[in-house]
Amino acid sequence: MDSLSVAYPIDLHTHSLCSDGTLSPADLIRRAAGRGVRVLSLSDHDTLAGVAEAVAAGAELGIRVIPASELNTESEWGDAHVLGYFIDPADVALEERLRWLRENRERRIELMVERLNQLGYGVSLERVLEIAQGGALGRPHLAEALLEKGYVRAYEEAFDTILAKDSPAYVARIGLTPREAVELVRMHGGVPSLAHPGTVVGLEALLPKLVAAGLAGIEAYCGDHSLEMTERCLALARTHGLVPTGGSDFHGRGEHGVDLGAIFVPPETIEMLESRRAHA
Ligand SMILES: [Zn+2]
Ligand SMILES: [Zn+2]
């Protein structure tokens, strides 16, 4: 029971206004402090812009902030997001690469809106941006815009028809594959972990490829997971020698129904992740 006696809330997956969350980094840290969190990772999508503010607020409130970013990927593997821990917010080359990702994502969606308009679908970029609320733009936002205009009867239908890969509205991705995301994190001295594996299509097949590229962790403790999914991820972690990580994926809108620090993450997780950094 030793680990329980020293247990305290740890949250290794959170978002601020700097990507698609609703709180500033400092407000996020204040909220975490109010909930007893002692170690928190700010993991905004494709950016490290909020880390310095979070670290400063954390220093005042006694919260250790681990810098991170959640990298979105584009591939046939579904929503495979890669969390990169311990990457350096002052790494200029990495920031260049992240900016490239952010700009390409926006440009791609702009192009798709243009094509949709040419095809007679009246969706506006302004509305798509509103739906995204400043977050990482993607096809889900286009699907929502199409749905609210009545062009499809269901959100998924948009993906299967108007936004499908063989549709004239489709613009090919310019982004990272899951493997490239893992490699990018490693290249910049970080420790990569696969976020919310439940959204990956073909998890068992993808995992060995990512492990070969340097994947060090897998998010086992996650609000989206059933008990079975957590057990499955813990088993996959054992099989592939990965560190089970976890967090709330808090965005501030309550969409996952989980508040900061509410997902149990074993304290030894931090040391295990750090050891993967040293051996990188
Ligand atoms: Zn994600
Ligand atoms: Zn996330």
- Identify residues whose C-beta is under 5 A from ligand 2, the ion: 70, 249
22-54 tens-digit pLDDT: 899 999 999 999 999 999 999 999 999 999 999
User: Vertex 223, ends 252 and 132: CA angle to 5°?
Assistant: 40
Helical pair 125-132 and 139-148, crossing angle rounded to 10 deg: 110
Query: Which ligand has the minimum distance to the alpha carbon of residue 69?
Result: 2
Q: Give 195's pLDDT tier (boundaries 50, 70, 90).
A: very high
Provide the whole-model pTM: 0.83
The pLDDT value given to residue 131 = 84
Listed residues: CB within 5 A of ion ligand 1: 81, 195
How far, in Å, is the centroid of ligand 1 from the Cα of 70? 7
Residues 111, 175, 178, 132, CA torsion sign = negative
Report in angstroms the alpha-carbon separations of 126 from 130, 159, 185.
6, 20, 33
Q: What is the pLDDT of residue 172?
A: 82
81 CA distance to ligand 1 middle (Å): 5
Name the percent of the chain lying above pLDDT 90: 77
Q: Taking 80 as the threshold, does the pLDDT of residue 17 lie above it?
A: yes
- For residue 55, report the distance from its CA to the centre of ligand 2, in Å: 19
115 is written with which tokens? 């094509």
pLDDT at residue 160 above 80?
yes
Residue 263 has pLDDT above 70, yes or no: yes
